[in-house]
Structure 1
Amino acid sequence: MRIAVIGLGLIGGSLLRALAGAGHGVVGFDADPGACSAVREAGFRVAGSVPEAIAGTDVVVLAVPLPVLPGVVADLDGYDGLVTDVTSVKGPVRDVMRGRRYVGGHPMAGKETSGFAASDADLFDGCAWVLCLEEDETVPADWLLLARLFTGLGARVVPVTAAEHDTAVARISHVPHLFAAVLAAQVGADRLAGALAAGSFRDGTRVAATRAELTAAMCGGNRDAVRAELRRLVGELAALDAALDDPGALVPLLRRGEVARRGWPAVAGDPRPEMSGVSALLELGRSGGWVTSVRDDEVVTIRPESGRNPS
């Protein structure tokens, strides 16, 4: 397949490497001349502009930050191939892409480091890769084409709507980035706390090392869902605060997190073939399942086994 990757940072660069390694004809472009030079030196083809990169390709992957996305999309005028993206918020991108041949995407993979120098061809192996499905909007054949492409890189493709995605990532990614930033900032002003910090601090603050501009763009782009989840969690923290004087009352509040964390990730069931209708795929995603491969109009799926926890 002929594929253009626009934006060659951590995700775009890793995708460029992975696609080339899988045998696809891939070309990249980045607005940063330094990034383009690094990619060329690594042995990959780099175009001089977005129009040059997308010419003659079957698929374009947009791997640029949300604030600059509209400008890049304008460079796609006249392109009749399939467009997807890797942006961490899907509703605003869906709005920008209306009227185009588009399937929203988001690989749940990353590092606290950024740039092409941090890219890794194996970054997507085993990761959950969201591909959005919208009733009466997404072309099923386009969705299946991308599902086949990304499962071929080792990803687990999860079908959801853009709205469902944005609520879920606010809970498990965007708000945790904000919490991590607040927690990590404490050791900047308290050297004793920094000297005593160990495993729980390290594990709870890893993503705070992400560039602040990237976290701000991610959370700001999903502000409605992030604000709702942030306020919900602040309310739950207030309940913990109120229960501190009575450890007996604190235990059941903490138990919910203990049980949920011990049961995550869920035990995966056995792969099984299913038909690829939109309703069935959305039900799969909502149940916590994913697609492992695509065979014509049939998908091979895995669902979590209810009642079983990893141990």
Structure 2
Amino acid sequence: MAQGWTEEPGRDGRGLGEEERLQSMRITVIGLGLIGGSLLRALDAAGHDVTGFDADPATRAAAGAAGFRIVESVDAAARGPELIVSAVPLPVLPQVITQLAGTDALVTDVTSVKGPVRDLMAAHGVRRFVGGHPMAGKETSGFGAAEKDLFDGCAWVLCLEPHDTDLDDWLTLARLFTGLGARVVPVTASEHDTAVAQISHVPHLFAAALAEQILENPLAGTLGAGSFRDGTRVAATRPELTAAMCGGNHSAVQRELHRLIGVLQDMSESLQADDPVGALIPHLKLGAQARQAWPAAPGQPSTIAAAGGPLLDLGRSGGWVTAVNDTELVVLRPETDRNAF
């Protein structure tokens, strides 16, 4: 892996605003499903020189018919780009990584779990890696569902590991993805995995459990309306994708699932109280307050130095990067947290 970040802005001593840093990049996207296909479209629309590969011949044909340059193997995809984006599911990621070992290109990914990917990249000798995860998607999948505007306004995690992540590489990706309209959130892999278990992985499992009820009760399906629709939307995700996502993050998912079960058990006990209505209200108030305040309104734009420590403080407080300038970053923070810096 690259040497860890320091408080200096550039590995090679050049300023971050050098003209070559603003030019289009040669980028290969490996895996052209919803996220990879959308990224291929978005990067192309932004003026970058893009190449794609997918293991599925039909997907390669569809992407080629859409006008994109498509190659026939990972080896071919890895020849010549400045940046390689892995957009394949976690179970097949080791097969791809073995063919990237030794590449001089910067490598990132879009996998929904970050700790295992970080460890795989290190184990296979990928020298320049920055883990990424765009918080974007929809129920449909495949290249046919890809949209070039999918990432506009989304939170895009870029992992920043003390002593491992090269800050200059991190800033290159932050510049690239903010250029696509994303809000770049700097955190460590372990911090990311805990957070997504809470707000994505466990909700997928909970949605599946809720949706399953209507299989044995057609009446419930007939009466289902807004709360059932909203609470089960992600249950329509392909089971293989949800299983890979949750299984890949099993430690954090199990921990957060047990925590949620504990909260539900407390609510169950409240229903046995002499006054179940009054007993439930304190539990429900917390959720109502949290949901009504979400998403938090952003504060006023400000700037921070292009340095690792302040970036991690920003991400941990719920803030994000909106632009990368010569020697500083333009950032926003939740309004309630704006005075913490």
Q: Which of residues 281, 303, 307 in structure 1 aligns to 2:311?
A: 281
Q: Is the 8 A contact 2:184 2:322 kept in 1?
A: yes
Aligned partners of 2:119, 2:52: CA distance in 1, in Å? 25
Aligned partners of 1:233, 1:110: CA distance in 2, in Å? 24
Q: Does 2:269 match 1:242?
A: yes
Mean CA deviation greater in 182-191 or 64-73: 182-191
Q: What letter matches 1:32 in structure 2?
A: D
Matched residues, number = 308
Q: Which of residues 174, 195, 199 in structure 1 aligns to 2:222?
A: 195
Aligned partners of 1:24, 1:277: CA distance in 2, in Å? 27
Q: What letter matches 1:110 in structure 2?
A: G
Aligned partners of 2:245, 2:322: CA distance in 1, in Å? 28
Aligned partners of 1:190, 1:132: CA distance in 2, in Å? 44
Q: What letter matches 2:206 in structure 1?
A: F
Q: Which of residues 157, 162, 169 in structure 2 aligns to 1:135?
A: 162
Q: Is the 8 A contact 2:85 2:110 kept in 1?
A: yes
Q: Is the 8 A contact 2:111 2:132 kept in 1?
A: yes
Match of 1:231 in 2: 258
Shift in Å, 1:296: 2.2
Aligned partners of 2:228, 2:332: CA distance in 1, in Å? 34
Any residues of structure 2 matched to 1:30-179 within 5 Å, and which?
30-98=54-122, 99=125, 100-179=127-206
Match of 1:24 in 2: 48
* RMSD across aligned positions (CA): 1.0
Q: What letter matches 2:98 in structure 1?
A: A
Aligned partners of 1:169, 1:127: CA distance in 2, in Å? 14
Could you give the per-residue CA deviations for residues 258-286 of structure 1, whole angstroms, max 9, x where no partner exists?
00000000010111121021110000000
Q: Percent of aligned pairs with the same residue?
A: 67
Aligned partners of 2:296, 2:264: CA distance in 1, in Å? 26
Could you give the per-residue CA deviations for residues 81-103 of structure 1, whole angstroms, max 9, x where no partner exists?
10000000000000001142100
Aligned partners of 2:327, 2:129: CA distance in 1, in Å? 19
SS state at 2:141 partner:
coil
Q: What letter matches 1:295 in structure 2?
A: N
Moved over 2 A (4+): none
Could you give the per-residue CA deviations for residues 99-154 of structure 1, whole angstroms, max 9, x where no partner exists?
42100000000011100000000000000000000001100000000000000000
Q: Does 2:331 match 1:301?
A: yes
Aligned partners of 1:177, 1:76: CA distance in 2, in Å? 32
Aligned partners of 1:151, 1:307: CA distance in 2, in Å? 22
Higher relative contact order by CA 8 Å / sep ≥ 6: 1 or 2? 2
Shift in Å, 1:173: 0.1
Aligned partners of 1:275, 1:77: CA distance in 2, in Å? 32
Aligned partners of 2:307, 2:121: CA distance in 1, in Å? 23
Q: Which of residues 2, 26, 34 in structure 2 aligns to 1:2?
A: 26
Aligned partners of 1:52, 1:14: CA distance in 2, in Å? 21
Mean CA deviation greater in 204-213 or 270-279: 270-279
Q: Is the 8 A contact 2:317 2:337 kept in 1?
A: no
Aligned partners of 1:215, 1:283: CA distance in 2, in Å? 31
Unaligned runs of 5+ in 2: 1-24
Aligned partners of 2:105, 2:156: CA distance in 1, in Å? 21
Match of 2:249 in 1: 222
SS state at 2:29 partner:
strand
Shift in Å, 1:307: 7.6
Mean CA deviation greater in 292-301 or 219-228: 292-301
Per the normalisation by structure 2, the TM-score is: 0.89
SS state at 2:118 partner:
helix
Aligned partners of 1:163, 1:250: CA distance in 2, in Å? 33
Match of 2:295 in 1: 265
Could you give the per-residue CA deviations for residues 220-245 of structure 1, whole angstroms, max 9, x where no partner exists?
00000000000000010000000013
